[in-house]
Amino acid sequence: MGVKKVSKIKVAIDGPVSSGKSSAGSKTAAALNYQFIDTGIMYRALAYKIKIQNIPSTKWKQTAEAASFKWVGDLSKPSLILDGTNVSRNLFSPEISSFTSKVASVPEIRKILVSIQRKMAEDGGIVMVGRDIGTVVLPDAELKIFLTASLDARIKRRYEELNQSKTPIPIEKLKIEILERDKRDTTRSDSPLQIAENGIEIDSTHLTLDEVVEMIVKLAKDKESRD
Ligand code: C5P
């Protein structure tokens, strides 16, 4: 019997707001000893910079072109350094979330970030999460997951996530934000959120985070020893 060749693969995870992509992606990366990259943070960081510096939309493309994105620290829980500054805090308010999806709907911005993300993934051994990873960024990914959950479950998760902070956000406000962002992300003309060809859909409504991770890790290990 021959020894099976094990190679590091690319895992793409896409899904709507609060479907659990980031938590599942980070835990999957830890289990596989892979690099985790949450592309949502890259869009959020850029949008945050644009917002606090009050950059007009005519200069957004220029700002994205000049930006330097670096992931540092723990492979499965890295922090994003944008232009030399750790910007991980302040990125998750409903205002920044909503503004991010506006910035992310601009094709010129997407083109720049997609090319940076492809470079980050070129050596494999990566779990990348977002909206267009399986369809546009890494169409060659060996494993493509489309993670969903019911609207109620997603609202509940987002509520729990955000309300750990000092200024709780009312559930009605979160529902409006999720619906508005889902609508914009799924109907935009450039790279709308959709399941990739060969994508595997996992509905996490009735699953725990560990159950979701277990499923993805099993699928990834299978691909690692086959590809
Ligand atoms: O995943 P997260 O909710 O943090 O992403 C914030 C926003 O960034 C999304 O609502 C979406 O508009 C945008 N995004 C995107 N493509 C990605 C990742 C995020 O358009 N690959």
Nearest residue (CA) to ligand 1, atom 8: 40
The predicted-structure confidence for 88-141, as pLDDT tens digits, reads as follows 888 988 899 999 999 999 999 999 999 999 999 999 999 999 999 999 999 999
Query: Residue 226 pLDDT > 90, yes or no?
Result: no
Q: Angle at Cα 49 formed by Cα 44 and Cα 51, nearest 5°?
A: 90
Nearest residue (CA) to ligand 1, atom 10: 101
Position 176 scores a pLDDT of 92
Nearest residue (CA) to ligand 1, atom 14: 40
Position 163 scores a pLDDT of 73
Token pair of 84, please?
């030399």
Q: Tell me the β-bridge partners of 147.
A: 202
Residue 224 lies in a domain: no
Measured between alpha carbons, how far is residue 138 from residues 11, 40, 110, 122, 155 in Å?
9, 15, 14, 9, 29
Q: Which 3 state secondary structure label does DSSP give 195?
A: coil
Nearest residue (CA) to ligand 1, atom 11: 101
Distance 2 CA to ligand 1 centre (A): 43
Report which ligand 1 atom has the smallest distance to the Cα of 132: 21
Query: Residue 170 pLDDT > 90, yes or no?
Result: no
Nearest residue (CA) to ligand 1, atom 4: 40
| Residue 100 buriedness (CB in 10 A; 0-12 / 13-18 / 19+) | buried
Residue 222 lies in a domain: no
What phi, psi does 83 have (nearest 5°)? 50, 45
Residue 154 lies in a domain: yes
Query: Residue 217 pLDDT > 90, yes or no?
Result: yes
Report which ligand 1 atom has the smallest distance to the Cα of 104: 20
The predicted-structure confidence for 29-76, as pLDDT tens digits, reads as follows 999 999 999 999 999 999 999 999 999 999 999 999 999 999 999 999
Count up the domains in the chain and report the number. Answer: 1
Nearest residue (CA) to ligand 1, atom 9: 101
Query: Residue 185 pLDDT > 80, yes or no?
Result: yes
Nearest residue (CA) to ligand 1, atom 2: 40
Position 103 scores a pLDDT of 97
Ligand 1 pocket (Cβ < 6 Å) reads 17, 39-40, 43-44, 100-101, 104, 130-132, 181, 185
Position 52 scores a pLDDT of 94
Distance 109 CA to ligand 1 centre (A): 12
Residue 158's pLDDT band, with cuts at 50, 70 and 90, is confident
Distance 130 CA to ligand 1 centre (A): 6
Distance 206 CA to ligand 1 centre (A): 24
Q: What CATH number has the domain bearing residue 75?
A: 3.40.50.300
Query: Residue 172 pLDDT > 70, yes or no?
Result: yes
102: containing domain: 8-210
Residue 218 lies in a domain: no
Query: Residue 143 pLDDT > 70, yes or no?
Result: yes
The predicted-structure confidence for 6-26, as pLDDT tens digits, reads as follows 689 999 999 999 999 999 999
Query: Residue 161 pLDDT > 60, yes or no?
Result: yes
Residue 215 lies in a domain: no
Residue 23 lies in a domain: yes
Residue 221 lies in a domain: no
- Alpha-carbon distance of 47 to 100, in angstroms, equals 5
Q: Which of 49, 131, 174, 179 to mutate to test the pocket of ligand 1 (most atoms within 8 A of CB)?
A: 131
Query: Residue 2 pLDDT > 80, yes or no?
Result: no
Residue 20 lies in a domain: yes
Give the orientation angle of helix 39-52 with respect to helix 94-103, to 10 degrees: 100
Position 160 scores a pLDDT of 86
